[in-house]
């Protein structure tokens, strides 16, 4: 991914033929503006794969080796009450790695909330529990 890619500069859907393609210099741009979310975050739509995404998708973890979608999905599963240890086994990530993502996500909690609620159907209360967990580092269990 380009280091200075901005929101809406590329399609964040890994399954899309235009995934990660920057809009600059393209005769036919595939990303269009698509209104805003209730929280006022700009929404975009990819004309190629027809997926909509919010301003933050693809930008929170975009320099990580693991695709952002994988990270967000792991966070969504955590929010839904799965334990880090079982996610680590199922997904093959180290527990420390997952914890590091969680801590990083907490620094962008608002943006992560937005994506997890709109794209992973995670509920508000589950997210509150997730952030409470990050603030409670000694504990290994979700509340
Ligand atoms: Zn696309």
Cα distance between residue 57 and residue 77, in whole Å? 18
C-alpha 9 – ligand 1 centre gap (Å): 11
Structure tokens at 120: 């992973």
pLDDT tens track for 3-33: 455 667 888 888 999 988 888 777 888 999 9
Ligand 1 centroid to residue 57 C-alpha, Å: 12
d(CA 119, CA 116): 5
Residue 1 confidence class, pLDDT cut points 50, 70, 90: very low
Task: Give me ligand 1 centre to Cα 7, in Å.
Answer: 14
Task: Give the model's pLDDT for residue 138.
Answer: 45
Cα-based distances in Å from 125 to 1, 45, 110, 117: 33, 28, 14, 11
For the whole prediction, is pTM greater than 0.85? no
The per-residue pLDDT for 83 is 93
Please give the distance, rounded to the nearest whole angstrom, from the Cα atom of residue 45 to the centre of ligand 1: 8
Q: What is the pLDDT of residues 47-91, one digit of tens each?
A: 999 998 876 666 677 667 788 888 999 999 999 999 999 999 999
- Which residues, including other chains, have CB under 8 Å from residue 75's CB and lie 6 or more apart? 101, 102, 105, 112, 116, 130
- Is the confidence at residue 142, as pLDDT, over 60? no
Q: What is the whole-number distance in angstroms between the Cα of residue 110 and the centre of ligand 1?
A: 24
Residue 41 reports pLDDT greater than 90? no
Sheet containing 31-36: order of strands: 31-36, 42-46, 52-54
Task: Give CA–CA dist 71/60, Å, rounded.
Answer: 10
Distance 119 CA to ligand 1 centre (A): 15
Taking only the tens place, the pLDDT of each residue in 81-106 is 999 999 999 999 999 999 999 988 88
């Amino acid at each position: 991914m380009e280091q200075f890619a901005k929101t809406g500069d590329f399609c964040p859907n890994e399954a899309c033929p235009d995934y990660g393609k920057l809009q600059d210099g393209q005769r036919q741009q595939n990303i269009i503006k698509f209104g805003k979310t209730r929280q006022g975050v700009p929404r975009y739509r990819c004309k190629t794969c027809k997926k909509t995404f919010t301003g933050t998708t693809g930008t929170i973890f975009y320099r990580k080796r693991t695709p952002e979608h994988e990270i967000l999905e792991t966070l969504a599963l955590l929010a839904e009450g799965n334990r880090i240890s079982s996610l680590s086994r199922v997904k093959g990530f180290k527990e420390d790695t997952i914890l590091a993502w969680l801590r990083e996500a907490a620094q962008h909690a608002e943006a992560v909330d937005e994506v997890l609620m709109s794209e992973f159907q995670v509920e508000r209360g589950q997210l509150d529990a997730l952030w409470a967990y990050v603030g409670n580092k000694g504990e290994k269990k979700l509340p």
